[in-house]
Chain A
Amino acid sequence: MNRKFTTGAAPHLPPISTVGEVMRQVLYALCPGVIAYTWFFGTGILLQILLATGFALLFETLMLKLRQQPVALFLNDWSAVVTAVLFALCLPPLAPWWIACVGMFFAIVMAKHLYGGLGHNVFNPAMVGYAVVLISFPQAMTQWLPPISIAPTDIGFLDGLWAILSGQPPAGMTWDAITRATPLDTIRTSVASGQTIAEARQLQTFGDLGGRGWEWIANGFAAGGIWLMWRRVISWQVPTAMIGSVIVLGLAGYLLDPGSNPSPLEHVFSGAIVLGAFFIATDPVSGCTSPRGRLIFGAGVGILTLMIRRWGAYPDGVAFAVLVMNMAAPLIDRYTRPRIYGG
């Protein structure tokens, strides 16, 4: 008996994970936050997620075809969907449809595929897309809704759909009537106009820790993020360093001047800190890879975010902070190489 076998390289074990599985777990982990978002701000966000995902898959398919890559294989990695959902979570719920289109074009085509596709992008694609639409369409990007519980009018699913598709406010309403400044925006304008934070916090927009509703969305993202850490899909370093640096720096600012600086908890529970810490700054492709590098990366994002919130031109700064740190990531990695065994 002489039997021939096909050979292959060791290890001879079935793979324990796939890129698609990693990305799908990120999507599962986003669910609690998205549910909280829908609960407090209505179904608009779900429409944005659907729109962004549609455009993302469209651009992904086109680019894969153009680059002559196997379409099914790469669509199956779910990375475009993660990008789309993270991008959509940054949009005002009733932003017009072409925002998602432009954002996804820049995210998928420019930031991802022109840099070489999956695994080769220097910048976080979702944040590139978001930064482009934020800078280009400031008006559309500031039409935020108040939480349903304090909204003057009830905007239903169809009203929302109409607003997104037409770019017009729902019939019989004006943008001014239905939109409201976000908590961070409110803090920013009240401090600028000489009010103290404590005075601004009397407004209904605020809840117990941060913005009303926003704090629960943050809790949802934190729950999902901790699950991801437990599943070891993301490392503990980035979220810990980012939230830690926000708390330390926020506390310092608060103790120095509580009138014009929000408390560290208000910082953490408003805006995109928690989403950023667990889901955006943890993007492995555009972030650091060494454990110490990840600590520096996370802390850098936290510090830059607070600096932008305090002195920048935008109320929140997570996206810009992440993009700046993306540029620094290769350098940080270079200087934080772990010690080699026996070295």
Chain B
Amino acid sequence: MQDSAVERARNAGKRLFHFHGGLRLHHHKQASCQVAVQSVAIPPRLYIPLMQHAGPEATPLVGTGAHVLKGEPVARFNEPSIGYVHAPTSGTIAAIARQAITHPSGLEGLCVVLKPDGLDRWTRLQPMEHWQSADPELIRQRLCESGIVGLGGAVFPTSRKVEEARNFGIHTLILNGAECEPYISCDEMLMREQPDKVVLGALILQKAVAAEQVIIAIEDQMEEVFSALQAAISNADCTHMRLVKVRTIYPEGGEKQLIQVLTGLEIPAGCRPPELGLLCQNVATAAAVAEAVTEGKPLVQRIVTVTGNGVKRPHNLLALIGTPISTLVDACGGYTHDAARLVLGGPLMGYALASDQNPVIKAANCILVLSNRDIQSDQAEMPCIRCGECARVCPALLLPQTLNWQIRNDLLDDASDSGLGECIECGCCDYVCPSHIPLAEWFRFGKSEHQLLAMERSQSNLARDRYLAREARLEQLKQDRERRLGEKKQALRDRTSVTGGTMGQGPA
């Protein structure tokens, strides 16, 4: 990475820049922001998926019938830097069974089914009293053991991100509070109600990655958040922390877009933010970090926005991981008569769920229930008229219509050359398309197909290499044999001529 780019990145937030495209959307956030965050009652059963993020499922550590305390590990991931899955409350393990998990695929996965005892008794907590003076590696280990993941939606293990950041050397930690997708307000409520915890988490993360400064980015419409955080920052007396307001435009809260807005830099293709000396973390992740380090509490709950025209009283709820979504909807007064679609996440990037029995997962920032009027999914798809609106709004500067054509015609390599990999699946192109082509869906499909193709190719390359190596080995053996044979013949011939000579000379 060029030093000049790193230097520019160091000035992050001093001046604001623009990213290409994007959408100004009606943000629908007011509905769920009116009242304080409320806790959801513990449901009769919790379903804790053992697949929490990309990668394989965790291995259960407890058997059916075992009693666990709140915060006790119930499963562990086989990769050491990821950590554990914890019991969200105290109770008995009722089963470990395959259940519908909350995942875009709609497939089933292994879940620990917990029958709460209603006491909600914590396991023995071990706060890090002196984290300020602790070894950063110990902090990272704590994040790993506490199951902290990115709560902005990507659920990437935070300890891994911290590790990677430390390897590259970070100067600026960016806390992402620019919750740009419509309807979602869980981060806004968190920052309003617990600004001190967010700031504390930021300080701990700063310590863990040895960053020189911290920038907390929020949207310019979050007035209450601004004053709350400002007060928290001055309370904490941290001079290296700045609060920056960014425009309210979708998808400004995307990692790449936020970095572009704060620094004017694009992350070069194939690179990651730490290479510019930057680390992005979501504000809710920071709050979870603060709890894990200063209170010793693993990540067992999160704030979930439950909103949309399909629920009676939109709210932000504090829910245990594993709580069925129906419990949350009930806590919001239930469905309205025209509830038609259940979405996990926001309206642009969220995925539709087939059933409200799916559990709340760490990535569940929003449960959005929409009416038919909100989605109008009956609009027929028309051919592309190449109007170019999609390219105008694309934050990755792609030509979505070209990608669409390439993917549909199975030209996956061409699509990859046209930048399919840079697509952040924000859905802007899809939303503005007058022909109602499901572009984002095609791009998700194209990406997975191309990945599959690459895998098949590397397998067939491997097979070919193996075959060629075998051929070469056989050829080598053959040549060796022939050489040896030749040598032997030669040696024999030599001996014959020698002995022949002697013979000739002998008796005569």
Contacts and interface: CB of A to CB of B under 8 A. Distances in A.
A289 B399 contact: yes
B129 interface: no
A5 B340 contact: yes
B431 A5 contact: no
A3 B326 contact: yes
Interface in B362-417: 368, 370, 373-377, 379-380, 382-389, 391-392, 395-399, 401-402
Interface stretch (B62-70, B192-200, B224-232, B432-440): B432-440
B151 interface: no
Interface in B328-361: 330, 335, 339-343, 345, 347-357
A77 interface: yes
Interface residues of B, number: 69
Contacts of B388: 235, 284, 289-290
Given A19-B385, A338-B397, A6 B256 contact: no
B441 interface: yes
Contacts of A341: 20, 256, 266, 269, 395-398, 419, 422
B355 A5 contact: yes
Nearest to A4: B355
B343 A12 contact: yes
B347 A73 contact: no
The bracket for how many chain A residues form the interface is 35 or more
B486 interface: no
Interface of B: 20, 106, 256, 266-271, 326, 330, 335, 339-343, 345, 347-357, 368, 370, 373-377, 379-380, 382-389, 391-392, 395-399, 401-402, 418-419, 422, 427, 430-436, 438, 440-441
Residues of B contacting A: mostly = loop
B397 A3 contact: no
B386 A16 contact: no
B314 to A, nearest CB: 16
Nearest to A234: B387
Residues of A contacting B: mostly = loop
Nearest to B182: A13
Given A2-B355, A3-B326, A70-B380, 9 more contacts: A3-B335, A5-B354, A5-B356, A10-B441, A11-B440, A13-B431, A19-B434, A118-B382, A289-B391
B431 A11 contact: yes
Contacts of A343: 268-269, 419, 422
Given A10-B427, A341-B20, A341-B397, A119 B353 contact: no
Nearest to B379: A15
A340 interface: yes
A17 interface: yes
B353 A22 contact: no
| 8 shortest interchain CB distances as A-B pairs | A119-B383, A7-B352, A9-B441, A340-B419, A11-B427, A14-B376, A341-B396, A17-B434
